[in-house]
Structure 1
Amino acid sequence: MKTTAVYSSYTAWDLALDDDFVRWVKNPDATDDAYWAQFLTDHPEKAATVNEARALLLHYSFAPAATDAAVVEEIWQRVQDFRQQQHNRPFRRLMPYWQYAAAVLVLLMAGFFSYRYFNPPLNLVATGPGEMRRVTFADGSQILLNQQSSLRYNSRHPYTVQLEGEAYFTVQKHGHAPAFTVRCMQGDIQVLGTSFNVNTQAQQLKVVLEQGAVQVAPVNPSIAAVKMQPGEMVVTDGASLRRKKVNTQWHTAWRNNQLVFTDAPLEDIFTYLADTQGWHFNIDKQVLLSNKRFNGTAPANAPALLLQKLSTIYQLSIIQRADTVFIEKKEK
C-alpha cells in the first residue's frame, strides 16, 4: 500500500477513484482501518476531504444483474450463421480466429448485460425551506425529513439510507433482519429498532436517542463506535466525539414546530440553543441564571423569537452577532 504522504495532495474525487480507498470504504478490515487512521493522524487537515470522498462512494452502489441468456444465445447464433457463410470462401485458414473473436464477443456482451445496473439511480427525497416530507417503508418504518434536507436510498435495499440535513426516524424492530443503517458524511448509525433524531448540519453529526438502541460509528476508525442510551445526544465531526444527557423532546420538537418548556432552567435552554443552532453564548458574570426558570412555549423554527421572549421576561439585554449571543443585565 502507498505511504500516507502520497495521499496528502489528493482531492475528494482522487480518493474516491483510488482502489485502496474504495476497498476501505466498501469492505474495511483491521489493516485498512489502521492505515487510514494513521493517515488522518499524519494529515488531520484532510479529515474533511476523507469525509467528502467517503460520502461520494456511499452515494453509489453496485448491484449486478443476471446475464440475459436469450441475448447471448442470439449473439452466438449470428456468429454461427456468419461462420457458415464464410465456409466456402477463401482464406479458410483464418477460420479459427473467427472462433476466438466470437468467444470474445460473447464475453463482452455478457459482461455488458451483467453490469447494466452499475450505479443504479437512488431514490431521492428532498425538502425546501419550510417543507417537511414523510417516507414510509414496507415494514412500517418511517422517516420524517425536516426542511432543506435530503434522503437517498435504493428501492432494492431500502434499509441503508444516506442523509444530509435533519430527519426523525421511527424504525421497526426485526430480530432476523439486517440492522437499519443511516449513512452520513461524518459517520454511520446502526439501528436495531428505535426512535431517534439525526442532524448533519454545521459539519457535525448529532444523534439524539429517544428510545431503543443505536450505535454511532465516526468516519475516523481510530474513534471507537459508541452505543447510545435513551436520553443521550452524541456529537461528532468525524475526528472527535462527545456524548451527554439532553432533553430529547426539545431536539425533536421541530416535528410539531412547537417547543414546550416546563420549569426549564435558562442555562439548559441556552445549552439547547448552542447544540441545535451552533451558537456560542457570552454571558456576563452579573447575570445570575441559577434562579431563573422558564415556563412557556416557543416556535421550534424561530429561535430568535425565543431569545426575545427571554429578554423581555427576565430583563436581559440579548444581542446576537453572527453565531455569538451576548447576554447582559438590561440597564434600567
Structure 2
Amino acid sequence: MKKQINVYETYTLTELINDQDFLIWVLYPDEQSNFHWQSIEDTYPHLSGPIRQGKTIVQSMRFEREDLSLKDQNEIWNTIQLETISRKTPVRKLWYRYAAAAVLAGVLLGIGILYQVNQPIAINTPYGKLKTITLPDGSLVTLNANSTIKYDRNWDKNEIREVWIDGEAFLKVKHLNTSGKVLDRERFVVHTGDVNVEVLGTSFNVNDRRGRTEVALLEGKISLGLNGAAGKPLVLAPGDIAAFEHGKLLVKPINVAQYASWKDGKLNFNNVQAAKIFDYFEDVYGYKVIVNDPEILKKRVSGSMSTQNEEVLFKTLGMALNLNINLNKNTNELMITSK
C-alpha cells in the first residue's frame, strides 16, 4: 500500500532512495504509480529536484543477472497468474528462488546508492588555478590554488553545515538565522588546521599553510575555537585577522579587502617582506624559490600587482624590488638575484 502524500513533505534525497515505493516506481513504473508521484511533486514542488536526482541515481545503477530460460520464464509467469487468481495457491519454490534473488539485488542496489550518495566531496585546485564552488546550502567558496575543500554531499536539514579546508579559501556564507535561538542547521563551521571557525552569515578568508592558520573577517561575525581546547571562543569583528601559530591565537586589525584580493586576480602589498611573497609563490604556483643573497628576503614592497599573467607578475615585482626574477622551467625553480 502506497504511503499518503503528506508523508513525503520533508523527505530528503537520501530518504527518497531508501523508500520502497520510490524504488519500485523508478524501476517498474506504471500509470497508477506515475500519477501518485506526479501528485507528490505537484503538492511539494521543492521535491522536484530530489525526485529527479533520485531517479537518475537509481537508474544509473546496473546489476548483472542470469538470463532466464524460456521454461523458467513460463513457470514464473504461471505462478504469478495463479497467485493473482487465488491467494490460497501455494507459491512454487522456483518463485521463491527468484524472489530471493530480487531481494538480494534490491539490497545491493540500496548499498550502492547509499555509498554513492553518502560519499563526501573533495575538490582540489592545481597550482596557479582558482575555482569557485557552490555548497549545498548556496554558500559560495573561492578556492585558491594548491588548496582542498571537503564537505558532505548532502547536508541534513537538522545538522550543522561543515566544511574542511586545507590551503586558502574565501567564503561567502548564506545567512539562515533571522531571529531568536540559532538552530543547528543555521550554524556553519569551517575546520582548518587546529582552528574551527563558526559563522552565522558573513564573508571571510581562511589561510592554512606552513603550520600557520589565518582567518580574516571582511563582514559579519565569526567566532574561533581550537581543537580540544576549552574556554570561551574568540570573536572577530570586521577588519580583524586572527593568526594561530606555535599554540597561540593572536588578533590584530588589517586591511582585509587587500588581504583577500587574490580572489579577484590581484595581489595587494602594504610594506610586505619579500620572504613572505616568495613563500606565496611556492605555495600557490609550486615553484622552488632560490635567492643568491639572503638580504633579498628582507626587502619590502607596497603596491598592487595583477596575477593574470605569471611572467608579467614576476617582471613587475622584480622592478619594484630591483631584482632579476627568472623561471627555470626544467627545474621548476625561480632564480632571484640582485641587479
Normalised by the size of structure 1, how large is the TM-score?
A: 0.50
Normalised by the size of structure 2, how large is the TM-score?
A: 0.49
